[in-house]
Amino acid sequence: MRAYALVALFAGATCIALSPIWVRVADVGPTASAFWRVALAAPLLWGALAFTARAGAARPHWPLLAAAGFAFAGDLAFWHWSIQTTSVANATLLANLSSIFVTLAAWLLWRQRPSAQFVVGLALALVGVALLVRTSLGVSGTALLGDGLGVITAVFYAWYLLTVKRLRDLGAATLRLMAVTTTLTAVILFPVALASGEALLPAGARGWLVLLGLAWITHAGGQGLITYSLAHLPAAFSSVGLLLQPVMAAAFAWTLLGEPLAAPQVAGGAVVLAAIYLARRGSKGSE
């Protein structure tokens, strides 16, 4: 196992774990921060693509690319709203249920029967979600809404992952795929952010720095590091290593935002992480 690939995996997961912190401290609305996340990252990705592009790129499949852009727009919009309405820990853990929805979709749409290990993981996920929701019920109705938005986030991200897998099977290069889908996502989110009535522009230099951190460190940097690491590490190990992301997000929220974890929340989080681990190990065929 290559040490630098391992470092890239953990560094990428940590960068992505900062995402909810940027969203919370941004002085624009959640939909607007989702737009700026991709709009400010797109030039960076296109620049990297121009620097590394090779001749003979695969023919673009625009219907699939549009579907990926729409799915990712839904993922970001619902997740950013979830972050603003429930705890960072709950929003992040529930969004990571996407791997379970990927296998459920493969089962329902393509009759790819899941393993017994996946079924156990699914049952554990339901228990973990119940514990997380129980914690939110003791906080406010808004927190419960945020939990629901986190689950919807997972559905949209599962759709995105399935579409990206299909595009990769058709020969799409990772960096080109990231650049195109990021741009399409920005195009989709811009009118939504305008229609939402949220504050679209940050108030000053600090606000722009927060959005740049969200776009460059989290989106471009985090995703780029993970994409690099996946090419050099075993898939099973990588899927487990990425579970660092929700753990780090909860730790950042505790230390930077003062969000302590209640005992049922810790138990629910542990159960959800175990469920995701089992589900990923039991659904290798759909990855």
Number of structural domains in the chain: 1
Please report, for residues 75, 174, 236, the alpha-carbon distance to residue 216 in angstroms, rounded to integers and kept in the order given. 18, 17, 27
86-116 residue pLDDT tens:
989 889 988 888 878 877 787 777 777 777 7
**Domain span at 273:** 3-286
Q: What is the pLDDT of residue 74?
A: 97
In angstroms, what CA-CA distances link 286 with 154, 173, 186, 273, 281?
A: 16, 19, 28, 19, 11
| Integer CA distances (angstroms), 215 to 190, 205, 238, in order | 15, 15, 23
Structure confidence by residue, pLDDT tens digits, 34-88: 999 999 999 999 998 888 766 455 677 889 999 999 999 999 999 999 999 998 9
Question: How many angstroms separate the CA atoms of 130 and 272, rounded?
Answer: 10
Residues in contact with 130: Cβ distance below 8 Å, sequence separation at least 6, in sequence order: 268
Distance CA 264, CA 151 (A): 18
Site of tokens 């950042």: 252
Q: What does the pLDDT look like over 175-226, one tens digit per residue?
A: 888 899 999 999 999 999 999 999 899 999 999 999 999 999 999 998 888 8
pTM of the model: 0.86
Question: pLDDT-derived band of residue 140, with 50, 70 and 90 as boundaries?
Answer: low
**If you search the block for the tokens 């090779």, which residue do you land on?**
54
> 198: closest CA among 10, 31, 18?
31
